[in-house]
Structure 1
Amino acid sequence: MTAPTVYLASVGTCLPGDPVDNTTLAKLVGVDESWADLFIGNTGRHFAVDLATGQVRHTLADIAATAADRALAEAALEPYDIDCVVMGTATPDQLMPATVNLVADRLGIDNVPTYQLQSGCAGAVQALDVARTLLLAGRCRTVLVIGGDVCAKHLETDFDPGSRTSAELVNYVLFGDGAGAAVLSAEPVGGDGIEIRQVLNRLVGLGREPGQVIDWFGLGDRHSDRTAVSEDYKAIEETVPALAQQMFWELLEDLGWAADDVDFLLPPQLSGRMSDRISAEMPAPDARRINVVRHVGNNGNALPFLQLAELLRQWEGPGRAVAVAVESSKWIKSGIALERS
Structure 2
Amino acid sequence: MGTRDIRLVSTGTALPGEPVGNAELARALGMTPVFQQWIDAFVGTRSRYLAIDLGTGQVRCSLADLGVRAADQAMAAAGVGASDIDLIVMATSMPDRLLPTTAGEIAARLNTGPIPVHQLQSGCTGAVQALDLAHQALLAGAGRTALVLGGDVCAKHVDLGLDYGRLPPAEMVNAVLFGDGAGAVVLGTGTDFPASPMLHHVLVRLTGLGRPTGQTVEWFGPGDPDTSRPAVWEDFKAIQEAVPVIAAEILGELLRGQEWTPSDVDYILPPQLSGRMTETITGRLGVPAAEEVSCVADTGNTANALPFTQLQMVLPALAGGDRVVAVSVESSKWIRAGFVLEQP
CA distance in 2, matches of 1:232, 1:152: 21
Instruction: Tell me if the contact between 2:181 and 2:302 (Cα under 8 Å) persists in the aligned partners.
Output: yes
Aligned-partner residue type, residue 216 of structure 2: V
Q: State the TM-score, normalized to the length of structure 2.
A: 0.96
CA distance in 2, matches of 1:253, 1:229: 37
* Unmatched segments (≥5 aa) in structure 1: none
Instruction: Tell me if the contact between 2:29 and 2:165 (Cα under 8 Å) persists in the aligned partners.
Output: no
Q: Give the aligned partner of residue 97 of structure 1.
A: 100
SS across alignment from 1:140: coil
SS across alignment from 1:112: coil
SS across alignment from 2:223: helix
SS across alignment from 1:182: strand
Instruction: Tell me if the contact between 2:318 and 2:343 (Cα under 8 Å) persists in the aligned partners.
Output: no
Deviation at 1:320, TM superposition (A): 0.3
Q: Deviations 1:45-99 (Å, cap 9, x if unpaired)? A: 0001122322111111110111011000111111000001000110011111111
For residues 147-226 of structure 1, the aligned pairs below 5 Å read: 147-187=150-190, 191-222=194-225, 224-226=227-229
CA distance in 1, matches of 2:244, 2:97: 33
Q: Give the aligned partner of residue 33 of structure 1.
A: 36
Q: State the TM-score, normalized to the length of structure 1.
A: 0.96
CA distance in 1, matches of 2:252, 2:153: 32
CA RMSD between the two structures: 1.5
Q: Give the aligned partner of residue 57 of structure 1.
A: 60
* Unmatched segments (≥5 aa) in structure 2: none
Aligned-partner residue type, residue 215 of structure 2: Q
SS across alignment from 1:321: strand
User: Residues 246 and 162 of structure 1: is their aligned pair in 2 closer, same or farther, counting only changes over 3 Å?
Assistant: closer
Structure 1 stretches of 4+ with a deviation exceeding 4 A read 188-191
Deviation at 1:223, TM superposition (A): 6.1
Deviation at 1:139, TM superposition (A): 1.1
Instruction: Tell me if the contact between 1:152 and 1:176 (Cα under 8 Å) persists in the aligned partners.
Output: no
Instruction: Tell me if the contact between 1:188 and 1:194 (Cα under 8 Å) persists in the aligned partners.
Output: no
Q: Give the aligned partner of residue 24 of structure 1.
A: 24
Query: Which stretch has the larger CA shift, 32-41 or 139-148?
Result: 32-41
User: Residues 188 and 33 of structure 1: is their aligned pair in 2 closer, same or farther, counting only changes over 3 Å?
Assistant: farther
Instruction: Tell me if the contact between 1:9 and 1:189 (Cα under 8 Å) persists in the aligned partners.
Output: no
CA distance in 1, matches of 2:186, 2:197: 12
CA distance in 1, matches of 2:91, 2:259: 29
Aligned-partner residue type, residue 248 of structure 2: Q
Among 290, 297, 300, the residue aligned to 2:303: 300
CA distance in 1, matches of 2:205, 2:193: 33
**Percent of pairs with identical residues:** 50
Q: Give the aligned partner of residue 91 of structure 2.
A: 88
The reply to whether residue 268 of structure 1 matches residue 271 of structure 2 is yes
The reply to whether residue 328 of structure 1 matches residue 331 of structure 2 is yes
